[in-house]
Amino acid sequence: MENIKFNLRGKIIEIPIVELENDEEWYITRLINYDKPNDEGEYKIFEDEEVFMNIIESFRHKTLIISDDKKIDYFFHLADKWCLPKWLFELIKIKKEKKDLLENTMLNILNNPIKLCKLCQTGFNEKENTSNSCKYHPGKFLFHTLKFECCGRTKEEDCCKIGYHLESIESKMKLLSINK
């Protein structure tokens, strides 16, 4: 069985030619069909060996194979550069979008922590705190009358106090003591 040699940043990879034979045209198939190897019988490609092999494996198995999710951005740009078939490029794009969404969500959570309101005892985000975010009753609920002592309203009626959430200093102090 004939092998094709690729020199990837000094690392030699040999791939059986049958593994590269398919109906889809992309950079590697064009390279071996229209170019000749160098004097050492290799095709020199200055790309990451692991990502190169993931692309080859993706073709072999007809699905996206990525051994290191941290390299998805590199994988995405190389897929575009090498004109990978649409089916594979779309799988890579979806994987990259999911990774980007997760990173953005995590950054948003870290940059906009949920705080506890000392008035209504609910969590809130400072950036979304408006003049009608916090709704509460300052008085106790009286079970014998089924009404709040502050305003005489029932649980089904609107709260008598509406305003901005106020961060609970006690909860902030607990968080600080936990993080020591």
Round the CA-based radius of gyration of the chain to a whole number and report it: 30
CA 55 to chain centre: 21
Using pLDDT thresholds of 50, 70 and 90, give the confidence band for residue 105. confident
- Give this prediction's pTM: 0.61
What pLDDT, in 10s, does the model give residues 2-54?
999 999 999 999 999 988 887 888 999 999 989 999 999 999 999 999 999 99
> Which of 35, 70, 172, 38 shows the shortest CA–CA distance to 115?
172
Q: What is the pLDDT of residue 175?
A: 57
- Helix, strand and coil content of the chain, in percent to the nearest 5, comes to 45, 20, 40
* Distance, CA of 1 to CA of 21 (rounded, Å): 13
The DSSP code for 124 is E
Q: To 5 degrees, how large is the angle CA 137–CA 152–CA 129?
A: 20
Is the distance from CB of 48 to CB of 34 less than 8 angstroms? no
3-state secondary structure of 139: coil
% residues pLDDT > 90 (the chain): 75
Kindly list the distances between the CA atom of residue 165 and the CA atoms of 4, 137, 171, in Å, as whole numbers in the listed order. 67, 13, 14
